[in-house]
Homo-oligomer: A and B are copies of this chain.
Amino acid sequence: MKTYLDCIPCFMHQALRAAKMATADETAIKEILDRTGEMIKTIPMQATPAETGMMVYRIVKEVTGVDDPYKAIKRKHIAEAKSIYPELEELVQNSNDKLLTAIRVAIAGNVIDLGINKTFDIVSDVKKIMHQEFGIFDYEAFKQILDKAENILYLGDNAGESVFDKLLIKALKKPVKYAVRSVPIINDTTMDDAIESGLDKVAELIDSGSEAPGIILNQCSAAFHEIFNHADLVISKGQGNYEGLSDCNRQVFFMLKAKCAVISGHLGVQEGAIILKQYNGGRL
């Protein structure tokens, strides 16, 4: 997915939010905004928003020296998600369609997103999404592919959401590789976050090689490409991964909440819609 003009003010918001997380020094924050402002003219509009997002966070790191401004808040979100995990697990166990309920839980976890200019409340938002109608619902196709799949690649998104991913991975009942970001970027799940979320108990954790807040294939390692190309089923969580893979050359199932006007417009759904989308390669 390309960068839209509407993404540009959002980059400034992201810069301000990340800068404030990294430092209380107003001069440093202003320098981050100055440099982000200067960067705008260099943004390749054909690149994904996630790639520009990466540049913003590099500026924050260069100015403040802080390479993981969201570290503490990621811990908090993982802990919050873990605290409601037993309740959601029970919900899945008691439901008529365990797989679908687990998919809902995993998508509900996608409300935890600090790259987006929205506030959220994990517990109440997750519960709301459990009853929300899907904007795109390719569930039958998903079940068919899952049924035949012998290996699954699951592309993680945010820390905290990662805890809910565990529930879905258990419901898939197949061998799963779970891909994380190579470095801390916004509140995305890194290897440490995945382990803290308990994902090592249910999946093989792999490093995607991507330093952007989304899977950008030309950044990913050869080892990741090998797994990506040969997985029987790829599940992609969240907006950043959607941005990176919406034009890719293989089948992917996207699970996300469309949290901004640009993404919802690209998907052709209302802002706030929850999505289970089958994509079969070639431009969307």
Which of A36-44, A137-145, A208-216, A275-283 lies at the interface?
A36-44
Is A58 interfacial (CB-CB < 8 Å)?
A: no
Contact A40 B29 (CB under 8 A): no
Chain A residues near B (Cβ < 8 Å) = 5-6, 8-9, 12-13, 15-16, 20, 26, 29-30, 33-34, 36-41, 45
Find chain B residues with CB under 8 A from A26 CB. 5
Find chain B residues with CB under 8 A from A36 CB. 37, 40
Nearest-neighbour CB distance to chain B for A31, whole angstroms, equals 9
Q: Which has the most chain B C-beta neighbours within 10 Å: A9, A12, A15, A16?
A: A9
Contact A16 B12 (CB under 8 A): no
Find chain B residues with CB under 8 A from A8 CB. 12, 16, 33, 37
| Assembled-state Cα–Cα distance A100/B33 (Å) | 43
Nearest-neighbour CB distance to chain B for A197, whole angstroms, equals 31
Which of B5, B9, B30, B41 is the one whose CB lies under 8 Å from A45?
B30
Contact A33 B38 (CB under 8 A): no
Interface of A is mostly: helix
Find chain B residues with CB under 8 A from A37 CB. 8, 12, 36-41
Find chain B residues with CB under 8 A from A20 CB. 5
Contact B34 A40 (CB under 8 A): yes
Find chain B residues with CB under 8 A from A39 CB. 37
| Assembled-state Cα–Cα distance A34/B37 (Å) | 8
Find chain B residues with CB under 8 A from A29 CB. 5
Which of B5, B30, B33 is the one whose CB lies under 8 Å from A16?
B5
Nearest-neighbour CB distance to chain B for A4, whole angstroms, equals 9
| Assembled-state Cα–Cα distance A40/B32 (Å) | 11
Nearest-neighbour CB distance to chain B for A69, whole angstroms, equals 15
Which of B13, B30, B40 is the one whose CB lies under 8 Å from A33?
B40
Nearest-neighbour CB distance to chain B for A21, whole angstroms, equals 13
Contact A30 B9 (CB under 8 A): no
Q: List 18 A-B contacts (CB under 8 A).
A: A5-B16, A5-B29, A5-B30, A5-B33, A6-B16, A8-B12, A8-B33, A8-B37, A9-B12, A9-B13, A9-B15, A30-B45, A33-B40, A37-B37, A37-B39, A37-B41, A38-B38, A38-B41
Nearest-neighbour CB distance to chain B for A56, whole angstroms, equals 12
| Assembled-state Cα–Cα distance A30/B45 (Å) | 9
Find chain B residues with CB under 8 A from A38 CB. 37-38, 40-41
- A9-B5 CB under 8 A given contacts A34-B41, A38-B37: no
| Assembled-state Cα–Cα distance A133/B16 (Å) | 33
- Across chains A and B, which 5 residue pairs bring their CB atoms closest together, nearest first? A37-B40, A34-B41, A37-B37, A9-B12, A9-B13
Nearest-neighbour CB distance to chain B for A124, whole angstroms, equals 20
Nearest-neighbour CB distance to chain B for A265, whole angstroms, equals 14
